[in-house]
Structure 1
């Protein structure tokens, strides 16, 4: 490969150096911010052997090249485009954010807050799955759980349960740290605010409902105000709102407090004012909002049933294209944090079926096509989608040919209807694809496997049918 010529051709197809604001790369893609994406010659880009696909998201124009190769191409690309080779991903994100509308910026902010804490949530969720396996009766023995059959491991199961619950019990600390940082505040003040919200002297949020019924909710009586001493364990919206307020209050005091007193007064005033407003206004209001959202989703899931599931399954891939799917993390975390009432999250199983459908469509194209470049793209991206990463399959194959994308929507819709009908729930977050079986509640594993099998088979059949109808005029 002549990397200098490839880089030159890419720059030309992008509208020249003057149309390229900045850029960086990840493991497989060039991630660029352009002046005007309408100037891009996508046909010319896609004719290049090294280019596996292109797409635009979150203010960035991304060109899929592939692991290893992207490093070589980028090294020449920055020279041809006259860019700084040491531009950081954060700088590119900031430049891309300026090109987004307010809704896109909101989704990006939510994504940036939750993506860093996903490993902790996934680890806790999977440990919860292990605990469920150990304690679920009838899974391996008739009318007995593993710990009932082997009492000597009961303490081990108890330890696993403690490890599993920690990330959810102290979720406001994780969110407070990440959110305060994203909103421009001190991340450690955000963490301290989260600690205040789950302080052990407060009534645990999981027991608040029962205490309210019995009239035993403890309160502070301050300035004739009765303020509930109730914690915010496992909540999302209250700490998000509180962290936003904390960041803005901190920024305000940084501007008006003399520098000699800044390190003393700013943290003190910021934490005290934010904490007081959290327990009097923000917390109670946002707790109710989070409960309404969760109850609304559960209500739709339980009442609309397979029809609602089918609609959600059909819409999931288009939602991925817009990037809005990142906002689902907040909802899923809320559902999992209240797992005793919700039973788990239904979004994850449907997302897994949708991702498998995109992978099945791409792999069917691999089987159908005679184009060697398309074969290479379809095989790699198809396997990636089955494992939960769908962007290469969506943008590199399915959307490009259109009919595989339509087939995947149908396969995903049918599978989601079945998954909803059988009330398949996930007790954790994980890779949303075939490996996602490890996150599914033990009593629903069989139905989950049936669901993603339906997704795969229906998509393959529909892709073949559409290739002979919708796609018959395309040279694949």
Structure 2
């Protein structure tokens, strides 16, 4: 390929170098922040053989080029625009300036939770392995593997300890990540998280029983009683406390003399934030978090498969807006509070949507006669089935429109089925075929059936709608010829 020529053609199509304010690339996409996206000639871009698709989200205009190709094109692109090489986080920061307040809020949640996802995924998947070992009737009638093979008991106990660690000490992970995002010292944020799960406190998971029994321990400070309760598995309290900590720390650094800064700022920051956390912020946000969790459970139980179908129908459109990043915080709370929630239903519905997008893209592979579309659809369809939907959704389905309609219908039907059978995930992971390991053991069969339904309905609907579009095109060409 002539990468220099490709970069020149792309640059011309997006309005010239004067229209580019930031540029970076990920594994497959050129990610740009443009001064004015209305100057982009999308038709010219999509007619280029090397371009697999384009879309705009989160203040960024993204051009899908494919693995390997994007690296070479980016080198030439930076040479032509005289822009220094940037990281994707730099481009995200530049793009966020063009977002509205709601989009910036969603990006903030994404910035906090995405870095800690690997720890949550590891813990959740280990929990899933423990469930496979301890679930009755899964492999042996009337028994679990541990009951049938007692020598596995300690292995299951070991795995369970490893699995719970990320959720028990979740405030430390969130405290570190959130404080860094809010502009504070992340190590003070981690210390705040440690304070909130200190072993001298009543374990947060036992707070409900202690409240009913009237046995909540307290500190009595000059007549003021402060509950000695931990925040294990909590999300909202540590988010709010981390924000306050960052603001207090930055405020103190402005007024404390530099000679005393390293001594007094950390001391006062932790003490004041800790005091506010246990007296007001923690109790209030704990109640808010409980209301959110109870509300989601109520909504899930009340609306049933109809609510699941609506969520499945809307999930892909939500992804287009980027609002799905806000679900990470909600899912983290659902997984951390699994004793009450039973797991995350959001992950399962996301998987139905991804499978449906992949099925529609593969249907296009059979329908279309366009060689370029076939090439994109083959790789993008498989990618979507594995949980990565951007190439399929933006490179094929949205561009042709009818596959996207078929996909959201398939997603709705699949989501209705898994909601009817109360399928939930015990871990985050790849929402698609590999997501089987993230599902509660007793629901794995229902999850597989749900994926099959989503795939079949989306594929069939796309095929029917595609043939209908083909007939309309033939009739249109026939009238032109006449």
Aligned partners of 1:41 and 1:442: how far apart in 2? 50
Displacement of 1:341 in angstroms is 1.3
Q: Is residue 120–residue 428 contact of structure 2 (8 Å, CA) maintained in 1? A: yes
Aligned partners of 2:247 and 2:52: how far apart in 1? 43
Partner of 1:270: 269
Partner of 2:141: 142
Aligned partners of 2:212 and 2:49: how far apart in 1? 67
Partner of 2:6: 6
Partner of 2:41: 41
Q: Is residue 25–residue 87 contact of structure 2 (8 Å, CA) maintained in 1? A: no
Partner of 1:176: 175
**How big is each residue's C-alpha offset from its partner over 1:143-182, in whole Å with a ceiling of 9 and x where there is no partner?**
1111111111111110000000000000000000000001
Partner of 1:384: 383
Displacement of 1:387 in angstroms is 0.5
Q: Is residue 127–residue 163 contact of structure 1 (8 Å, CA) maintained in 2? A: yes
Q: Is residue 380–residue 389 contact of structure 2 (8 Å, CA) maintained in 1? A: yes
Displacement of 1:224 in angstroms is 2.8
Partner of 2:241: 242
Q: Is residue 403–residue 471 contact of structure 1 (8 Å, CA) maintained in 2? A: no
Aligned partners of 1:378 and 1:160: how far apart in 2? 40
Aligned partners of 1:393 and 1:250: how far apart in 2? 45
Partner of 1:187: 186
Aligned partners of 2:439 and 2:86: how far apart in 1? 40
Aligned partners of 1:255 and 1:187: how far apart in 2? 18
Aligned partners of 1:474 and 1:96: how far apart in 2? 39
Aligned partners of 1:432 and 1:56: how far apart in 2? 23
Partner of 2:118: 119
Uncovered stretches (5+) of structure 1, i.e. residues with no partner: none
Q: Is residue 411–residue 455 contact of structure 1 (8 Å, CA) maintained in 2? A: yes
Q: Secondary structure at the match of 1:32?
A: strand
Partner of 2:308: 309
Partner of 2:478: none
Structure 2 residue 151 is the aligned partner of structure 1 residue 152: yes
Partner of 1:457: 456
CA RMSD of aligned residues (A): 1.1
Q: Is residue 401–residue 471 contact of structure 1 (8 Å, CA) maintained in 2? A: no
Q: Secondary structure at the match of 1:379?
A: helix
Q: Secondary structure at the match of 1:305?
A: helix
Partner of 1:447: 446
Displacement of 1:82 in angstroms is 2.3
Displacement of 1:327 in angstroms is 1.0
Residues 75-154 of structure 1: pairs in structure 2 closer than 5 A? 75-84=75-84, 86-154=85-153
Displacement of 1:91 in angstroms is 2.0
Q: Secondary structure at the match of 2:216?
A: coil
Structure 1 residues 461 and 228, CA, compared in 2 at 3 Å: closer, same or farther? same
Aligned partners of 1:82 and 1:442: how far apart in 2? 54
Uncovered stretches (5+) of structure 2, i.e. residues with no partner: 475-482
Superposed structure 1 runs of 4+ greater than 3 Å apart: 470-475
